[in-house]
Amino acid sequence: MNAGEETVLDARGQRCPLPVIRLARLVHDRPDVGVVVLLATDPAAAHDVPAWCRMRGHRFLEARAEGDHSAYVVEVATPSTAAAGR
């Protein structure tokens, strides 16, 4: 992956657990995706994205309020690291 390159995933308007499912699906399809920025309006995402990162061995970088939605920034671990974290 290239440093500084982010993949944006727009889950605005989707209710839990869809934002986390879409994030997981993206990471499943592209394990080397690197840094993902998930945009979501669902308030549960604020708790569930960090919890998913912990359960899956990924790194939760930050949550930013951006007007009517929030952006959750996740650094996806390489498959070998993720397996070790589980």
Partner 1 sequence: MVSHDPGTNPRPDAPASSKPPSATPLPTSGTTPQPPRDAFAPASRHLLDAAAGPLHPVARETLHAAVAVGWADPDRLHAEGRRARALLDRSRQVLAAGLGVRPGEVSFLPSGPAALARAVDGVAYAARRRGARTVASAVEHSAVLVPGRSRAAAAGDASLLAEVPVDEAGRVDLGAWAAALAVDGTVVAALQSANGEVGTRQPLGRARELAAARGVPLVVDAMASLGRDDVPADWDVLVGDARSWGGPPLGVLVVREGVRWQWAYARADVEHGRADVTPWVPLALAAAEAWQQTASTRADDAGTTRSLVTAIRAAASSVPDTEVVGDPDNRLPHVVTFSSLYVDGEAVVGAFDRAGFAVASGSACTSSTLEPSHVLAAMGVLTHGNVRVTLPLPAVSPTLADDVAAFVSALAPTVAGVRAELGVAGL
Q: Which residues bind partner 1 (CB under 8 A)?
A: 15-17, 20-21, 24-25, 28, 42-44, 46-48, 50-52, 54-55
Shortest spacing between CB 10 and partner 1, in angstroms: 18
- Return all residues near 19 (Cβ < 8 A) that are at least 6 apart: 11, 38, 40, 42, 45, 48, 49
Burial degree of 63 (CB within 10 A; 0-12, 13-18, 19+):
middle
Shortest spacing between CB 55 and partner 1, in angstroms: 6
Nearer to partner 1, 3 or 36 (CB): 36
State the maximum Cα–Cα separation within the chain, in Å, rounded to a whole number: 37
Nearer to partner 1, 16 or 71 (CB): 16
Torsion of the alpha carbons at 23, 8, 6 and 53, rounded to the nearest 10: -20
Shortest spacing between CB 83 and partner 1, in angstroms: 14
